[in-house]
Amino acid sequence: MTQDDATELRRLRWRSRRGMRELDRLFERWLDRCWATSTDAERDVFRRLLDCEDDRLWKWFLGHAHSDDADLDTLVQSIRQLPPD
């Protein structure tokens, strides 16, 4: 991992802190397990996911609603499928 990658990952970890522990853990799990092997496109989708409002994110992760954006929905579903620590 380059210095720029490490800096970006630290930035994203900070942005992933939502004040809702459940969301924090979901985002951290993806960063820990998937970030290093993700494509640039997947990373861009993750960054867009972090721009979404918490209440909307929580509904998506619970499965009560789905994003109209297919890329966001795909990422949410893949994060939901990650086994817990």
Predicted confidence (pLDDT) per residue in 63-84, tens digit: 999 999 999 999 999 999 999 8
Task: Report how far residue 20's alpha carbon sits from residue 68's, in angstroms, rounded to the nearest whole number.
Answer: 23
Where do the domains of the chain lie, and which CATH numbers do they carry? Answer: 3-81 (1.10.150.250)
pLDDT in tens, 15-55: 999 889 999 999 999 999 999 999 999 999 999 999 999 99
Distance CA 47, CA 57 (A): 13
Write the Ramachandran bin of 55: left for phi over 0, alpha for psi from -120 to 50, otherwise beta. alpha
Sorted by sequence, the CB contacts under 8 Å of residue 45 that are 6+ apart come out as 71, 72, 74, 75
- The whole-model pTM stands at 0.92
